[in-house]
Amino acid sequence: MAQPRSMNMGMHGRGGMQGAGRGAENPVKTFKRLMKYMTSRYKWRFVLVCVMIVVSALASISASVFIGFFTEHLAEIGVGGAPDAQFYGLLFAMGGIGAFGILCSFTYSRIMVYISEGTMKRLRDDMFSHMQSLPIGFFDAHTHGDLMSVYTNDTDTLRQLMSQTIPQIISSVITIVGVFFAMLFYSVTLTVVAMLFLGLLLFIVGKLSGKSGGYFVRQQASLGKLNGYIEEMIEGQKVVKVFCHEERAVKDFTALNETLRQNATAANSVVNVMGPTTNNLGYVQYIVLALVGVLLAGSGTVWGISLFGFVSNGSWGLTLAAIISYLTLARSFNMPVQQVAQQFNTVVMGMAGAERIFAIIDAPSEDAGGEVTLVRVDRTAAGYEERRSGALWAWKKPAQKAGDAAEYVLLRGDIRFDHVTFGYTPEKDVLKDVSLYAKPGQKIAFVGATGAGKTTITNLINRFYDIRQGSITYDGLDVRSIRKSDLRRSLGVVLQDTHLFTGTVMDNIRYGRLDATDEECVAAAKLANADSFIRHLPHGYRTVLHGDGANLSQGQRQLLAIARAMVSDCPVLILDEATSSIDTRTEKLIEEGMDKLMEGRTVFVIAHRLSTVKNSQAIMVLEQGVIIERGTHDQLIEQKGKYYQLYTGAFELE
Amino acid sequence: MLRTLAKSVRQYKKQTIATPCIMVVEAAMETLIPYIMSLLLKVLQDAQSANMPVDLGMVAMYGGIMIAMALLSAAAGIVGGMLASQASAGYAANLRQDMYEKIQSYSFANIDKFSSSSLITRLTTDITNVQMAYQMMTRMMVRAPIMFVFAIVMSFVVNAQIAWIFVGAAVVMALAVVFIMSRAIPGFQKMLVKYDDMNGVAQENLTAVRVVKSYVRENYEIEKYKKATKAAYDFSVRAQKWLVTLMPAVQTVIYVTMFLLFAFGGNLYFGGDLQISDLTALLTYATQILTGVMLFAMVLNFMALAKPSAKRIAEVLEEEVDLKNPENAVTQVADGSVDFENVGFSYDKNADEEVLKGIDLHIRSGETVGIIGGTGSAKSSLVSLIPRLYDVTEGSVRVGGVDVRAYDLETLRNNVAMVLQKNVLFSGSIEENMRWGNEGASFEEIQAACRAAQAEEFIERIPEKYEYDLGQGGVNVSGGQKQRLCIARALLKKPKILIFDDSTSAVDTRTDALIRDALKKAEPDCTKIIIAQRIASVQDADRIVVMDDGKIAGIGTHEQLLTDNAIYREVYESQVKGGEE
């Protein structure tokens, strides 16, 4: 039964290249785990489904057997006779069993919908929830395309596998076994013949599947190549136009397209050939069985070997009715064999997909960090007291021993790096022996070329990555002793690559603090100088943004990101090229807002434009992971060092 | 829509038509085999009832005929299957080719209308869907009904009374399938929309993972995703529930038909009107007729689901390209002068407000003009009219004294080189990328262009030098390096007019100045139009245009504008005070 979503089966669309043709490493283990996953929540329902599959398979076998009994009975009564009680008995028994079988198959497929969809939902939720707990390093190590392909292609194949393939395989196996015994009862000789054909069938299917596997891998590879080309060229289509490069673009495309056509033709040919071949082999078997059956029917032969006595009276030849039943059975034997053979690809692909899904679920989570939490407190005579609506933020150090009181440290925003060394890989240090301090309320700027380690410093403060040597303290506490979520909650971040979410403009600003009122959001937008352009949007603050805010300019998106940070009201701010796409005049306009935002806060600024960092309390010039100069703007200018050269334009930043 | 899509069949017409024809042979064989089988069994039946030995000659003959038929059927099936895959893969390739070529003819406005990501989906996923539906169509669309008709005819041959039962059953089956599908298909379409939403959330979280983590919004996002998976689950269950009723419904019809066949057939047998061997043949026909109906319904189902994809493809193919090469086009650009004559422009022809209003601007050949203005002041829109990336809505733009709409597009764009703001490089070596500007450029010319664009210095530092692979979209070089390579690429065109649309924003001020110097020396006669954020980049220009809200707010030299243009002065002060210059 073809299912609509299976349209994408075997030919993944975008991003289908990854994982294509890659088999499962340990299919048996993965399958076991998948079954456990599926049955853990739906144990009894799954047992019920299995029982019903067996019942409905047996019902359909008995219907075939009844056809034999029925024709046998007809022949017994003979032409000119009249229907007797057994005639009606057989007829209604056949009808009754058939109806029961249908009822079972209807019920189990309904239940299976809930089981497979429910399991899929759980699998997706688990995968996504777990992904949220993974460290940044995981996302840096995997491409979005690869991960997205797990969310789309792999789950899709798996759903297909669970909702259809597994029930079908169970049903097929039952049918194959049941029919085999029924056939054996009718005639051992004919069954031996039938098994010879089965061997031939399996041989052909095996050959063709093996061949199709190779073709499919090649098809996937060329599809991936072509889709990659399409992606790159369409993204750069405007450049193609400006350079009148259309003809050349078509030429390269044509070659890739032709390769794909050839490989796709080959791959699909094998699949298309498989159906008619096995189907007609079934016919040949049917015919040969009929011929052999007719030979065995002749009186005097003793080779029918029927275990159940479907032989003519007085001789060992098979009766006509027995042959007819046998032929019907033989056909219902071949069908499930073919079906199981055709499911082979789905199972292989499903297992490979399941393995990738489990790989995400199994990836080690980011640790939660230390014990110190961030709480609201009020100042009292005895020190600080924790209150939900407290006016101040404080770090809460849990009691060391039972009976001790928790210790509170007021959050001030004092951040120190003490001889910090770090590298993303053990081979290469990105930061070498960096020491610096930011006192509460200070603005610290980082200046330096791409790759000098500016962004890395901010990645260490919020513990996206952990340092290798040295220490980082926050209000005197080692950052590793602070719970990560609380540490990050205390840091407002505006990143160079602005990312917005599908939702209204208001929702996007509120992302900074979920309980912010509309008024607070609008006020933040005003401070960020975003209010005027937001009001010009079709629905103002209620305009829905799609695709990462694709309809906004980079500058406008940065303004929204700044508004978002303003709403979050964090004691420490990290501005990583936060205003790089905003023109200097607008930057001037939001300066007041920015000043207000930075007031009383510890701020780390990374900026390309030196005008942005000029009024910092300390400017650090980084080169290859080392702070080579530090001081105020005036001091650094006086030093006539690297900063001076940068400032006067003698060196470039990129 | 169908006519548009049919155009792409072309050289695969033969296969497309031959496939169903050959399928007819397969269907005919499949329906004849049961008939011959019943004749064979009749031989046995007659022999047994007469208590005579079986006529082995007859048995051999019928057996031989049937095996021949099975082989013929297999051959037809195999050939048909191969032709079908040739037709569908070929058709998909043609369709892809047609779409791609059509997109190459698109103007900027056309591209904007669809957006790149949507065009990519149409060229990839949608084509795959249509290919699958096409293959189903060529193989099954004819075979299923033919099988149905043949089986009906054969059952009439065997026994007319029973055949009427089959006709009735087929009607019931068709109604049942249509009913169930009409419930399931809309459900699936809705489900797909929910799937897109769900995957959208996952995608967003992958790209914005740093934002999510920084704001500690993991649980918020998990809730959001769970809501999306719940919606997908609900719609999926609803659609699936209908779909899974299909099989039991089909089985019910088949069982009821069998029941009737045996009840009536039994009585006919007693009356001597029907042989037992006929009964087996009829049993097979019943299955064939009913599967024929079901398969046909399934094909329709497939096509219904591929229809949105087909529609999206047709939209691309049917899109009217709004910028066409004129007839008797001018193929010579006299000089590098540019004249804007009362130009009005908007991206959307129905928009109330124009992006550019009443622009009058005359640039002499060889002049250097700077353009300054805030975000959204329509600087880019203004210059994009010169190489005719868009057409004016009002007034006219002339290059070398001739309206841009009279030029051959290639001539115009080869003479007006524009370095786009959102620029990209392509996979391949630096040299290959440079050849975009001029296919036949000598290596020395490429070096010279890179030198002028101040790119030579960093290229020389890369071990592979000009052989260095830039990676998809040019990811292997930094922003500033990319901009310089893009400038070099444009220089290789040897244009009469060179336009920089904020092309040196990531380049430091000193290099920026060096590029301008080098240009002045290398291309003294070339008209240069420079959009910039930095005053320093335009300060030395012959004239500077100040744009504000789609209008020219002032034209003059740096000194003139400083004294009499408030906006210019404001920008200047913001930068000087800021300390950039």
CB within 8 Å: B574 and A268: no
Tell me whether residues A276 and B426 touch, CB distance under 8 A. no
pLDDT of residue A9: 31
**What does DSSP assign to residue A482?**
B
Tell me what ipTM this predicted complex has.
Answer: 0.82
Percentage of chain A lying above the pLDDT 90 cut: 9
What's the confidence (pLDDT) of residue A51? 92
B333 falls within a domain: no
Percent of chain B's residues with pLDDT above 90: 9
Nearest to A294 among B54, B209, B577 (CB): B54
Residue B448: inside a domain: no
B428 at the A interface (CB within 8 A)?
A: no
Q: Which residues of A313-329 are buried (b: 16+ CB within 10 A; e: fewer)?
A: eeebbbbbbbbbbbbbb
pLDDT, tens digit, for every residue of B339-381?
A: 998 988 887 776 667 788 888 889 888 888 999 887 667 888 8
Distance from CA of B419 to the nearest CA of A (A): 9
Please tell me whether residues B10 and B131 are part of one structural domain: yes
Q: What is the pLDDT of residues B467-526, one digit of tens each?
A: 888 877 777 777 778 888 888 888 888 888 999 888 877 777 777 888 888 888 878 888
Q: Which pLDDT does position A450 carry in this prediction? A: 62
Identify the burial level of A208 via C-beta atoms within 10 angstroms of its C-beta, where 0-12 means exposed, 13-18 middle and 19 or more buried. middle
Assign B168 a pLDDT band (cuts: 50, 70, 90).
very high
Closest CA to B147 of B6, B263, B299: B299
The reply to whether residue B374 touches residue A120, judged by beta carbons under 8 angstroms, is no
Across the interface, whether the CB atoms of B104 and A250 are under 8 A apart is answered yes
**Can you tell me the distance from the alpha carbon of A180 to that of A168, in angstroms, rounded to the nearest whole number?**
18
B204–chain A Cβ distance below 8 A for any pair: yes
The enclosing domain of B564 has a CATH number of 3.40.50.300
Alpha-carbon distances of B307 from A196, A228, A563, B89, rounded to whole Å: 45, 25, 43, 18
User: Which of A277, A320, A544 would you mutate first to test chain B, the one with the most B CBs within 10 A?
Assistant: A320
Residue B182 touches partner A, C-beta closer than 8 Å: no
Domain shared by B125 and B190, yes or no: no
| Chain B residues close to A327, C-beta within 8 Å | 37, 280
Determine, for residues A277 and B78 on separate chains, whether the beta-carbon distance falls below 8 Å: yes
Cross-chain residue pair A502–B201, CB shorter than 8 Å: yes
Task: Considering the domain delimited by A26-187+339-365, tell me its CATH architecture.
Answer: Up-down Bundle (1.20)
CB contact under 8 A, B133 and A7: yes
Which residues fall within 8 angstroms of residue B10, CB to CB, at 6 or more apart?
B94
For chain A, which residues score pLDDT lower than 50? 1-21, 652-654
Q: Is there a contact between A16 and A219 (Cβ–Cβ < 8 Å)?
A: no
CB contact under 8 A, A250 and B101: yes
Contacts of B251 in chain A (CB under 8 A): 98, 101-102, 105
Q: Which residues of B touch A121 (CB under 8 A)?
A: 229-230, 232-233
Looking at the structure, tell me whether residues B363 and B234 fall in a common domain: no
Question: Do B233 and A120 count as a contact with CB atoms less than 8 A apart?
Answer: yes
Q: Tell me the shortest Cα–Cα distance from A402 to chain B, in angstroms.
A: 31
Asked whether residue B463 is domain-assigned, the answer is: no
Mutating which of B426, B481, B546 best tests the A interface, going by the most A Cβ atoms within 10 A? Answer: B426
B97 and B55 housed in the same domain: yes
Q: Across the interface, which of A242, A584, A608 has its CB nearest the CB of B387?
A: A242
Domain annotation covers residue B449 = no
The confidence score (pLDDT) of residue A10 equals 33
3-state helix, strand, coil in chain B (%, to 5): 65, 10, 25
- What's the CATH fold of domain A415-647? Rossmann fold (3.40.50)
Please indicate if any CB of chain A lies within 8 Å of the CB of B19. Answer: no
Q: Say what the alpha-carbon torsion angle A494, A500, A501, A502 is, to the nearest 10 degrees.
A: 160
Which of these, B131, B132, B235, B238, lies nearest to B192 by C-alpha position?
A: B235
- Domain membership of residue B477 (yes or no) is no
B202 with B125, same domain: the answer is no
Q: Is B566 on the interface with A (CB under 8 A)?
A: no
State whether B92 and A264 contact (CB < 8 Å): yes
Q: What is the pLDDT of residue A457?
A: 86
Query: Is a pLDDT exceeding 70 seen at residue B157?
Result: yes
Report B:387-406 residues touching A (Cβ under 8 A).
387, 389
Task: Please tell me the predicted confidence (pLDDT) of residue A66.
Answer: 82
**Contact indicator for B360, B437 with CB cutoff of 8 Å:** no
Would you call B217 and A144 a contact, using CB atoms and an 8 Å cutoff?
A: no
> Which member of A324, A502, A614 has the closest CB to residue B280?
A324
Task: Please give the pLDDT value at position A1.
Answer: 31
B216 within a domain of the structure (yes/no): yes
Would you state the structure tokens that stand for residue B514, as one six-digit string? 């060096």
**By the CB < 8 Å criterion, does B539 face chain A?**
no
Q: Which residues 6+ apart lie within 8 Å of B351 measured at CB?
A: none
Domain count, chain B: 3
Shortest distance, CA A401 to any CA of chain B (angstroms): 30
For the segment B195-223, the average pLDDT, to the nearest whole number, is: 85
Rounded CA gap, A212 and A271, in Å? 7
Share of chain B above pLDDT 70, in %: 98
Residue B532 C-alpha, separation from nearest chain A C-alpha, in angstroms: 10
Contact B93 A261 (CB under 8 A): yes
Nearest to A237 among B92, B116, B133 (CB): B116
| Chain B residues whose beta carbon lies within 8 Å of the beta carbon of residue A144 | 203, 206-207
- The residue ranges of every structural domain in chain A are 26-187+339-365, 373-410, 415-647
pLDDT of residue A122: 92
Asked whether the predicted pLDDT for residue B388 surpasses 50, the reply is yes
Nearest chain B Cα distance for residue A173, angstroms:
19
Site from B83, B276, B300, B316 to mutate, A interface, most A CB atoms within 10 angstroms: B276
* pLDDT at res. A234: 82
* Domain assignment of residue B208, given as a range: 160-273
B165 plus B224 within the same structural domain: yes
Name residue B469's beta-bridge partners. B429
CB contact under 8 A, A14 and B124: yes
Is residue B239, in this structure, part of any structural domain at all?
A: yes
Looking at the structure, do residues B315 and B406 belong to the same domain, yes or no?
no
Q: In this complex, do B413 and A499 lie within 8 Å of one another by their Cβ atoms?
A: no
Whole-angstrom Cα distance, residue B123 to residue A227? 8
B227 and B125 in one domain?
Answer: no
* Cβ-contact B481, B489 below 8 angstroms: no
Distance, CA of B163 to CA of B169 (rounded, Å): 10
Is the domain of B137 the same as that of B184? Answer: no
pTM of the model: 0.77
| B203/A261: higher pLDDT | A261
Q: Are residue B19 and residue B117 in the same domain, yes or no?
A: yes
Residue that the structure tokens 């098809």 belong to: A219
Q: In this structure, is residue B452 part of a structural domain?
A: no
Residues in chain B: 581
Cβ within 8 Å, pair A7-B305: yes
Instruction: Considering only CA atoms, give the Rg of chain B.
Output: 36
Q: Do B44 and A110 touch (CB under 8 A)?
A: no
Residues B189 and B94 in one domain: no
pLDDT for A4: 33
Q: Which of A100, A268, A637 to mutate to test the interface with B (most CBs of B within 10 A)?
A: A268
Which residues from chain A sit within 8 angstroms of residue B54, using beta carbons?
294-295, 297-298
Instruction: Please list every residue in chain A whose beta carbon sits closer than 8 Å to the beta carbon of residue B104.
Output: 240, 246, 249-250
| Contact predicate A605/A444, CB 8 Å | yes
Q: Which of residues 307-336 of B touch A (CB under 8 A)?
A: none
Strands A503-504 and A544-545, by their bridges, are antiparallel
Residue B55: CA count within 13 A, CB half-sphere: 13
Task: Give residue B159's identity as a one-letter amino acid code.
Answer: N
pLDDT at A302 (0 to 100): 58
